[in-house]
Structures are given as structure tokens and as C-alpha cells.
Chain A
């Protein structure tokens, strides 16, 4: 099997995929997207690239989405494909798809006016969380304890460069324990996950210093993760789940290019090799 690895920054994960692919006797072809180009309709393509499957690992969402689109246009199998990356990358798209399929999420309001946002936020109660429609690693996510602060955050957002800066997304602050759940789906399995624990900061991104602890996946979590995968599409997903004391599991976000260094470390579970095996099964079908 020939594995293309589409990437812009060679992180631990990308190196590990390449190493594990070689160990399994696969050929790994790194595709550094900053050197990459595409021509459409000029009789030139990237056909010298031989790959049974291309794993999409770009750190930049724009590069990930764009290169997945191009590879798919050339009929490669791409994990994840552009459509599922788009669904995951846009939080509003994620939330509305989940809601449509009766998956519980944090209560969320979306408005095009700051006044209306503050008005509606009173209904879901304070503290409230403001977050950009697109964005990662907890950037620009803020907790507003009252109306004044919420209004200030909404104003600040307008001065960002986000193309969605005049769309206001406000979420309830879920009274979860000082942790959340990250569970990984690969193909039709959800074999591994972690708790992300942060005693000091309410944000549980490991990029912001949260600790990873092994997670035991029960049937409810596994079923939920696989249901989310059916809704979102894609082959390799990282699903973020909150534990709400009253409502149970709430799906917060879905990641289309998940990082898993800490998951491998604390679970002693080889994510790259598992993913590669799952891909081989899929390609054979």
C-alpha cells in the first residue's frame, strides 16, 4: 500500500505515520503542501503521484481543505475528504448537523447582531462562552461572566480578521468537571480516547496545558462517537465531548485533522499503526 501524507508542518504525528508506514512495509510519500501546486484544465496533473490513499495532515485548515479538494478531484482516496473537513472546520455547520440528528450539544445561539446576542445570552444564562465560527487550539474562545463583558467580547471579535467576524456564536458554559473527553474514530471503530484535565483553566485544550489521562470507552461513548462519524463523514476524527451533570454527554466539536501525541503516550496505543491498518482494510474493499 502506498500512503501519501499531505502536510505543511512536520509534527510528531506526521513523522510517526511515516515511520509506522515503513515498519509495516508500506511506501510513505510525504507531500509538503508548501511546494505543492495544481493545474486545472491545462493538460497537466499530479499523476506522477502514486498513492492508494492520502492522509490529510495539514496544520492549516485552509491548506487541508484545499488539498483534499484537489486530491479528490484527481480521484485519490483522501482521509479526510474535503466535505467532512468543511463540516468539522465550521462550528456552526457541526452544531446544526448534530442537532438535526438529535445529538446533544451545548446550548448555542447564533446572531448577526450584538444586541440580539446579549439578549439571547440572558436566556441561556451566564457565564456564557463566545467562540469564533472557525478556529482551533482554544484561540479567541472567551468566557463572559456578565452582559457587559459579553458585549465587549462581541465588539472585539469585529476587529479580528475572521471572515465570520460579524456572526456571533455564544454558547452556554457547561458545568462539566474540570475535564473533557477526546475520543478518536478510525473507520468504523472508536478504539481510544483521553480525558483532558485542567485544574487551573476552564479551557481543556492540551495546547493550553491540559493534562491527558487514559479514558475507558464504554458502550454509550462508543455508540455516540460512531453516530457522530456517520453524521459528519470522514475516516479519522477526534470528537470532543463534555460531561454535563444533568444531560449526560454533549458533543462540543469534531476535529478533522486530530493531533494524538498525548493519546499515544498515556494509553500506550499506537494510533498511527491502527489507522494504517484500518486504511488497508478500507482500500481492499
Chain B
């Protein structure tokens, strides 16, 4: 597990080592977070809102 910080509430979030960018993580503060690659390290940011061109 990798210990990351929630960018919204600042609390710790555990993310599996093999997480990939674009993976969605739900956090207890209610934020929907997205894993991304920040200079070679995994980090979290607020997930993108559903876009109007999204979907199958």
C-alpha cells in the first residue's frame, strides 16, 4: 500500500501499490479522487466530473 494525502480533507488515504493513473478512489470525506502520476510518484486529485461526451 502507498500512503497518500487526500487533497480535499488532508487525511491519509491508502492506495494499492499497483494502482494506475485514472483509478478512482472513494474517500471517507466524500470526495471522489483520481490517482495520477506526479513526477513519477502516485498522487491524488479530485476526480473529473462526468463530461457531456462521456459514455458508451
Binding site for B on A (CB under 8 A): 7-10, 14, 18, 30, 32, 34-35, 59-62, 134-137, 139, 160-162, 207, 238, 255, 257-259
**Residues in B whose Cβ lies below 8 Å from that of A161:** 52
- Cβ of A258 and Cβ of B24 under 8 Å apart? no
Number of interface residues of B (CB under 8 A): 15
* Minimal beta-carbon separation of A127 from chain B (angstroms): 24
- Cβ of A60 and Cβ of B51 under 8 Å apart? yes
Binding site for A on B (CB under 8 A): 20-24, 34, 36-37, 48, 51-56
How many A-B contacts are there with CB distance less than 8 Å? 59
Partner among B21, B36, B55 whose Cβ is within 8 Å of the Cβ of A59: B55
* Minimal beta-carbon separation of A175 from chain B (angstroms): 25
* Minimal beta-carbon separation of B33 from chain A (angstroms): 12
- Cβ of B56 and Cβ of A8 under 8 Å apart? no
**Residues in B whose Cβ lies below 8 Å from that of A14:** 22
- Are A258 and B56 CB-contacts (below 8 A) given A10-B20, A34-B21, A34-B22? yes
Residue picked from A9, A161, A162, A258, most chain B C-beta under 10 Å: A9
Give Cα A30 to B54, complex, Å.
Answer: 20
- Cβ of B24 and Cβ of A10 under 8 Å apart? yes
Give Cα A40 to B22, complex, Å.
Answer: 26
- Cβ of B53 and Cβ of A62 under 8 Å apart? yes
Partner among B21, B34, B36, B52 whose Cβ is within 8 Å of the Cβ of A135: B52
Give Cα A91 to B34, complex, Å.
Answer: 31
Q: Which residue of B lies closest to A58 (CB)?
A: B54
**Residues in B whose Cβ lies below 8 Å from that of A135:** 52-53, 55
* Minimal beta-carbon separation of A261 from chain B (angstroms): 11
- Are A137 and B55 CB-contacts (below 8 A) given A34-B36, A35-B37? yes
- Are A9 and B56 CB-contacts (below 8 A) given A32-B37, A34-B36, A35-B37? no
Q: Which residue of A lies closest to B51 (CB)?
A: A60
- Cβ of A259 and Cβ of B56 under 8 Å apart? yes
Give Cα A30 to B36, complex, Å.
Answer: 13
Give Cα A61 to B56, complex, Å.
Answer: 8
Partner among A7, A62, A255 whose Cβ is within 8 Å of the Cβ of B56: A255
Give Cα A62 to B48, complex, Å.
Answer: 15
- Cβ of B56 and Cβ of A238 under 8 Å apart? yes
* Minimal beta-carbon separation of B51 from chain A (angstroms): 5
Q: Which residue of B lies closest to A160 (CB)?
A: B52
Q: Which residue of A lies closest to B35 (CB)?
A: A10
- Are A139 and B52 CB-contacts (below 8 A) given A9-B24, A32-B20, A34-B22? yes
